[in-house]
């Protein structure tokens, strides 16, 4: 992180063409950690607190936040996690990366 007073967590999800562009930009590529996820299926359970993918996504966000030493407590809710999931294809993230 270049500026500890202004931490930034950028999640680029479900945009494979963007990944190749970012990798071609040396100044950007060396700042990123690439993560690949298997397909996510949020909404399989009526109760989001019992949805294993929702629980996993929640853990993932908190893990990254802890590593970056930022507080995401006020950000994390079901709506945020559903928006995070809804990148590609329409209706759910499939093989997301970054």
CA 29 – CA 49 distance, rounded (Å):
35
Per-residue pLDDT reduced to its tens digit, 54-81: 888 889 889 989 988 999 999 888 888 8
Q: pTM of the prediction?
A: 0.52
Residue 51 has, within 13 A of its CA and on its CB side, a CA count of: 16
DSSP state of 97: B
**Residue of 62, 59, 69 lying closest to 1 (CA atoms):** 69
Helix, coil or strand: residue 78: helix
Helix, coil or strand: residue 62: helix
Per-residue pLDDT reduced to its tens digit, 30-59: 777 777 667 777 777 778 788 888 888 889
């Amino acid at each position: 992180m270049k500026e500890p007073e202004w931490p930034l967590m950028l999640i680029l999800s479900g945009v494979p063409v963007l990944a190749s562009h970012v990798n071609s930009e040396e100044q950007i590529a060396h700042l990123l950690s690439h993560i690949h996820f298997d397909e996510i299926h949020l909404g399989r359970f009526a109760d989001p607190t019992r949805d294993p993918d929702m629980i996993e996504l929640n853990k993932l966000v908190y893990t990254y936040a802890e590593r970056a030493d930022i507080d995401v407590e006020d950000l994390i809710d079901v709506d945020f996690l559903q928006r995070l999931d809804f990148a590609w294809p329409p209706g759910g993230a499939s093989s997301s990366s970054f």
